[in-house]
Amino acid sequence: MENINETITNITYSINEKKLTIVYSNSGVESIILNKANYIALFDNWFIETPVFITDKFKAQIKSLNFVKINKDEEKNIKELDDFFSDTDKALKFFNYVRNRKGLIASEKQKWTTNAN
């Protein structure tokens, strides 16, 4: 994902190309072809450094991204991800969430650690 400091202003989906086009507030445009390689890249970009946490949203999609990466039920999980991301409202919510989740997860971990003491 590019333009990390910019707001996503629009997402469109091309069914023929299985492609998301993301438009940013700086007029930058990014295209993501929905395929195995890009699903693995999404997982690696957003979930390796900050693993899944109990309060995470979009757990089903995170699980599907992980399963595509490890080749578990690959066809089923790619289909589920394709269906999810073809809904641009859901895609927008997902990308807005993952772009901010590192800070959200750090805050949530702090709450859990503080409450445990």
The Cα-based distances of 54 to 4, 42, 95, 110 in angstroms read 24, 20, 19, 13
pLDDT attached to residue 35: 97
Going from N- to C-terminal start, the domains of the chain cover 35-116
Tell me if the pTM is above 0.85.
Answer: yes
Please give the Cα distance from 82 to 34 (Å, whole number).
7
In the chain, the amino acid numbered 8 is I
The whole-number mean pLDDT for each consecutive block of 10 residues of the chain, a chain of 117 residues, reads 86 97 95 97 93 90 96 96 97 94 83 67
